[in-house]
Structure 1
Amino acid sequence: MTATNGNGNAVEFITVGNDGDARQIAVCLEHPATGNALAHLVWLGGYRSDMTGTKAVELAGLAARLGTGCVRFDYSGHGASGGAFVDGTISRWLEESLAVIDHAATALGTRRVVLVGSSMGGWIALRAVAELAGRQGIEIAGLVLIAPAPDFTSELIEPNLTDAERTALAERGQFEEPTPYGPDPNIYTLKLIEDGRKNRVLAGVIETGCPVHILQGMADPDVPYAHAVRLMEHLSGDDVVLTMIRDGDHRLSRPQDIAKILEATEIFARGQ
């Protein structure tokens, strides 16, 4: 089944999961120009973001200018995809990401990809690389991580829980937190936090097998820039560049931020 998203792009739906756990994942594919050999781009969004956001759309625009393919999608419980948000976990969203990457590799006819992950999407990108390492046929040309939030449940949420939030988790299985990014509060569930512990990547050396470029705002109120520095230390075996943007916030969606993101992505897509 196909439809269109808010930007008029064709959206198709793939099924991930079986039986009662099946959910319809909305995917938007931009196909490469004939004969184009550049790696295609895969957008991995953040917590509660969707594929119509500024950075995702700008990434698709870069792909069009380069003549390469681009993949955007919504995790279950996000945007146009099915499923309930409160059922979401890192493992669940990772499963969907891997299914989309596999689907896109066949549909676009190229198996070289650049993963571009924003915030939580940076964590999922790192987990995806680990999962893909044991497979044949998918080559990661590079990772672009924007204000990455690996292990945010155990590193940034759990240590700062209030007594009221701990009680809500124990009694209701979730708590709500106001957010400046929209009228609805963020919802954090016990299953998300427990599953996050199983998906930690900051427990040892992270081996991606590809170049990595991290872009981090030093004025980020959600993910401290020290978190990006710590991530870089765990990526000690890889070719890693860390760009600190002194006045950058968590979104990094200003024109000057977008320009840096696209520049890093294009370098990896071209294999430079």
Structure 2
Amino acid sequence: MDAATPEFLDVNGVGIAVLYRPGLKSPGIVWLGGYRSDMMGGKALHLDQWAARTGHACLRHDYSGHGQSGGDFNEGTISRWLDESLAVYRRFASGPQILVGSSMGAWIALRMAQELAGSGNAPAGIALIAPAPDFTAALVEPQMTEAQKRDLIEKGYFEKPSDYAPNPYIYTRKLIEDGGKNLVLRGIIETGCPVHILQGMEDADVPYTHALTLTEHLPMDDVTLTLVRDGDHRLSRTQDLELLTRTVSALAEHIALV
């Protein structure tokens, strides 16, 4: 596959755009983007370029309704995007892998680890950036206005202004209800691998206390939490990207020694 031309994998009748860069060094890197993000974002590209320089494989894809993939964004749910991510992973990933999940992608990564537990292709390491597990129940629902609650009931969705794009975020009733079926912060999460979390303390979308809560649910794993005092939700500044690749590189070196 050409590094810049996606291949399309049919998942439940939808073409999921995939970019896979083979590598000679283990482990491979698997990128899982956030809500309304795509695999051509700054962090994803930075990680892919690092993988190319260092010889690691890099696997990226767009969820349905995102980026170059087919499907309707408003039909998307955590379960649907999880199924797509697992299908891509099982089709392309070979050998030990590090899941790198950003925001919602961190939730997907944790659910993937749960689904892959005990199999021969469970992740060897996980890096989470501004993780937003359970964001529908923990972050969205508690902040809903009465008008938004009415819209959710009457229209099946509500809108919320975005700081990152001119168009508002859309949250559907389907997304909110399905999120309840995928909650991970209700008990112990066992990933079976080391987990490194990067979290900005100036994150206006996912408060850093959410990352602290997540660590409490990972008592069985080797967990490292790095708080970036002046970091925002994106963590896309030059120093943030360098921190990301240092983190992934350290995880990769640790896995190679095991």
TM superposition score category, shorter chain reference: over 0.9
2:103 is the alignment partner of 1:115: no
User: Hey, what does 1:217 align to over in structure 2?
Assistant: 200
The separation in 2 between residues aligned to 1:218 and 1:37, in whole angstroms, is 34
> Residue 269 of structure 1: CA displacement?
2.1
User: Hey, what does 2:6 align to over in structure 1?
Assistant: 11
User: Hey, what does 1:27 align to over in structure 2?
Assistant: 18
Q: Counterparts in 2 of 1:1-272, with a 5 A limit?
A: 9-17=4-12, 22-32=13-23, 36-105=24-93, 110-135=94-119, 137-270=120-253, 271=255
Question: Which amino acid counterpart does residue 109 of structure 2 have in structure 1?
Answer: A
CA contact (8 A) 1:46 1:121 kept: yes
> Secondary structure in 1 aligned to 2:89?
helix
Structure 1 residues 254-263 or 89-98, which shifts more?
254-263
State the percentage of identical aligned residues: 57
> Residue 264 of structure 1: CA displacement?
1.1
Task: Give structure 1 stretches of 5+ with no counterpart.
Answer: none
The separation in 2 between residues aligned to 1:140 and 1:112, in whole angstroms, is 6
Q: Deviations over 1:129-166 (max 9, x none)?
A: 0000143x214121000000000000001111110000
Question: Which amino acid counterpart does residue 186 of structure 1 have in structure 2?
Answer: Y
Paired residues in the alignment total 255
Task: Give structure 2 stretches of 5+ with no counterpart.
Answer: none
Instruction: Point out 4+ residue stretches in structure 1 off by more than 3 angstroms.
Output: none
CA contact (8 A) 1:111 1:139 kept: no
The separation in 2 between residues aligned to 1:64 and 1:151, in whole angstroms, is 33
State TM-score, norm by structure 1.
Answer: 0.91
In structure 2, do the counterparts of structure 1 residues 264 and 53 end up closer, same or farther at CA, with 3 Å as the change threshold? same
The separation in 1 between residues aligned to 2:197 and 2:83, in whole angstroms, is 23
